[in-house]
Amino acid sequence: MATTGEESVERPLVESGVLERRQYQTELAREAAGGHTLVCLPTGLGKTTVSLLVTAERLHEVGGTALLLAPTKPLVTQHADFYREALAIPEEEVVVFTGEVRPDDREALFERARVVIATPQVIENDLIGGRIDLASITHLTFDECHRASGEYAYNYIAERYHADSEAPLVTGMTASPGGDEAAIRSVCANLGLASVAVMTEDDADVAAYTHRTDVEWERVTLPDEILAIRDALVAVIEDRLEALKELGVTRATSADISQRDLNRIRGELQQLIDNDQSEGYEGMSIHAEVMKLRRAVTLAETQSVESLRRYFERQRNAARSSGASKAAQRFVSEAKVRDAMDRAEGFDDLHPKFRRARILLAQTLGIEGGERVIVFTESRDTAETLTDFLGEHFSTRKFVGQGDKEGSDGMTQTEQQETLDEFRNGEFAVLVSTSVAEEGLDVPEVDLVLFYEPVPTAIRSIQRKGRTGRQTAGRVMVLLAEDTRDEAYFWKSRHEESRMAEELDTLKSAAGAIESDLAQSDLDSFEGDDAAASATDDDGAANATAGDGGQSGLAAFATPDAVAAEDGAGESTGVDDPDEADGADEGEEAGVVATAASEESTEIVIDQRELDSSIARDLSAREGTETRLETLAVGDYVLSDRVV
């Protein structure tokens, strides 16, 4: 990564000669340093560098600690390596927080850190447990911030940060903020972002670092044997939907019923259960069977017969297990399903996608002299069988997530890192990956990105395609099975991508109006120091952290001493580990009741098993309330020695 002095970034707290100087990154960093900003930049063009430049300036001018959140452990590790290399601070001051780090270790690490890089779940749990304080965090980065929706931990952390930090500055980073303007505005509202900084490949400064990416799609025709398997399963789906129709929860009986409609049906069935109506339980079991059948159809149509065979075997094992569900038992005993199972066992040919994938790789790596290819697939079963198949002809490795899934062991974090390093070093040519490599990982430039199947969302499609065309002309190929849900997913994704590009162009041209709207509506939902910093009043504390246009953080850059004087006030108290099996501190007796700590605050003990509950988050964010986590023998919350 080293560059010459004239080409490199030279500024305080940035290692000389490490970062290449790119005008668009400098411009985005300048904007992000001026206020809470959503930074949109195509995959592979250095969003993390933008955040690092802001962090370096913040630490130099304001002091305190920087916090960077990333959704996966591999991303956390990758960011930590980059920050240790590029920041001119001792490596031990850049620390990593994941659920694998012991609570005592986290406490010591947090006390000495200048940069904390973490998964959001760990930070959320530590905030709920009352073990860390965001007061001294002067720069908070949300990587892959398009995830900030629903109950995702980013939203809670953002709310707490805006309320608690003495000198807040938020940067959200993504290549794909959402499928429409409403989604983009929602991300901004959830994270408290007031500005949007967008650069696309059409911008002159960015275009110099990108090359054309050709997207092609190729249709494959399923053989009659696979269609017969599919049709047998479809017939059972339609039969089960007829049964649900008789229960009055749907009028649709076609097997291509949308997932949205199935979710609605499930909601109506849950209402029946809540009203103690037995039809609800019967319908819920049928609904579960429909979901199993749809999964089997998807595997037959879009993946491989081998993946389908593995799925059938797991269902047979589940049906034979103690406590097997009625849905699983009906599934394996249904005559048409058993016929599909027999046909799958007797199928000894290749799925046409396998054959086509082999041809495309031979063209890219052989005839065209390419060096690297990534093959993306939705199914871990397919990733394994495709790795074995392609491995007969090319040097091939798989790359999957860490959890055990689909009857398959996941990869450890070390195995993932070693695989990426070997791919980067050219030790093998083909990486077959599930979705874990889509989001943010520093996967090297490749000659071909092959979608084994299309994905139904624009965000995932953009992330996959961003793995090529950064330094040389790139190629993307999408395989579609004719007359299957592949086609529906493909066109849905293309439509969303087109709409997203239009929305980003709109954001660029109407940034002022959008930022004004965000400032007047979305940020009103945040309370505390951040809200005060955004207000146009004469309060001295507010003026210490507010800048032109009401954007918090701008004045802090101009007058760092105003904030630096308060650096010691918000130091963290350390971290317990709510992610471990027992959440209690050493020396603390689990179940000890809470009492009022003082006239100003009340302590509430929360059972660690309630971490997924919104109640725990709400209590921890409530003014005048302190929370901590334990494993309680009785009750979920302890309010006093008499109230559990």
User: What does residue 629 show for φ and ψ, rounded to 5 degrees?
Assistant: -110, 140
DSSP-H helix ranges across 87-152? 103-112, 120-128
Whether 528 shows a pLDDT value over 50: the answer reads: no
CB 332 within 8 A of CB 316: yes
**Cβ(230)–Cβ(486) under 8 Å?**
no
Q: What is the pTM of this model?
A: 0.57
For residue 591, the Cα-to-chain-centroid distance in whole angstroms is 35
Confidence of residue 341 (pLDDT cuts 50, 70, 90): very high
Average pLDDT (303-316) is: 93
Tell me, what's the pLDDT at 600?
58
CATH architecture entry for 224-346: Up-down Bundle (1.20)
Name the phi and psi angles at 10, rounded to 5. -125, 105
Write out the two tokens for 47. Answer: 């969003």
Grade residue 131 by pLDDT with cuts at 50, 70 and 90: confident
Label residue 74 by pLDDT band (50, 70, 90). Answer: confident
Question: How does residue 264 score in pLDDT terms, banded at 50, 70 and 90?
Answer: very high
The number of residues in the chain equals 644
Residues of the chain with CATH 1.20.1320.20: 224-346
pLDDT at 4 over 70: no
Over pLDDT 70: what percentage of the chain?
69
Question: How many Å apart are CA 21 and CA 539, to the nearest integer?
Answer: 39
Segment among 71-75, 98-102, 169-173, 485-489 with least mean pLDDT: 98-102
- CB within 8 Å of 243: residues ≥ 6 apart: 283, 286
Say which residues have a Cβ less than 8 Å from residue 611's Cβ, sequence separation at least 6. 124, 125, 128, 578, 629
Give the ranges where 510-536 is alpha helix by DSSP (H): 511-520, 529-534
Task: Tell me which of 224-238, 533-547, 598-612 is least confident.
Answer: 533-547
Per-residue pLDDT band at 579 (split at 50, 70, 90): very low
Helix or strand or coil: residue 477?
Answer: strand
Q: Which of 71-75, 344-348, 547-551, 630-634 has the lowest mean pLDDT?
A: 547-551
C-alpha 24/C-alpha 36 separation (Å) is 18
Read off the pLDDT of residues 427-468 as tens digits, 9 standing for 90 and up.
999 999 887 655 545 566 788 889 898 876 545 555 555 544
Mean pLDDT of 261-281: 92
> What is the tally of helices (H) and strands (E) in the chain?
25, 16
Q: Are 232 and 340 in contact (CB under 8 A)?
A: yes
Give the pLDDT of residue 635.
56
Q: What pLDDT score does 574 carry? A: 35
With pLDDT > 90 as the criterion, what percentage of the chain qualifies?
43
* Intervals of CATH 3.40.50.300 along the chain: 23-207+508-567, 213-221+350-483
pLDDT tens digits for range 146-163:
999 888 999 999 999 999
Could you tell me the fold of the domain covering 23-207+508-567? Answer: Rossmann fold (3.40.50)
CB atoms within 10 A of CB 221: 11
Banded pLDDT at 490 (limits 50, 70, 90): confident
Q: What is the DSSP letter of 6?
A: T
What is the gyration radius of the CA atoms in the chain, in angstroms?
27
**pLDDT 10s digits, 188-202:** 999 999 988 888 777
CA distance 554 to 112: 26
| E-assigned strand segments in 227-372 | none
Residues facing residue 397 across a β-bridge: 431
CA-to-CA dists, residue 265 to 142, 250, 254, 590, angstroms: 35, 7, 14, 42
Tell me the C-alpha distance between 130 and 252, whole Å.
Answer: 49
CA distances from 301 to 226, 233, 272, 461, 478 (A): 7, 11, 34, 20, 15
CATH superfamily of 213-221+350-483: P-loop containing nucleotide triphosphate hydrolases (3.40.50.300)
| Single-letter amino acid code for the residue at 272 | L
User: Among 186-190, 284-288, 515-519, which is the least confidently predicted range?
Assistant: 515-519
pLDDT digits (tens, 9 = 90+) for 27-58: 999 999 999 999 988 776 889 999 999 999 99
Residue 547 clears pLDDT 60, i.e. is over it: no
Asked if 480 and 217 count as a contact pair (C-beta separation under 8 A), the reply is yes
Per-residue pLDDT, 444: 63
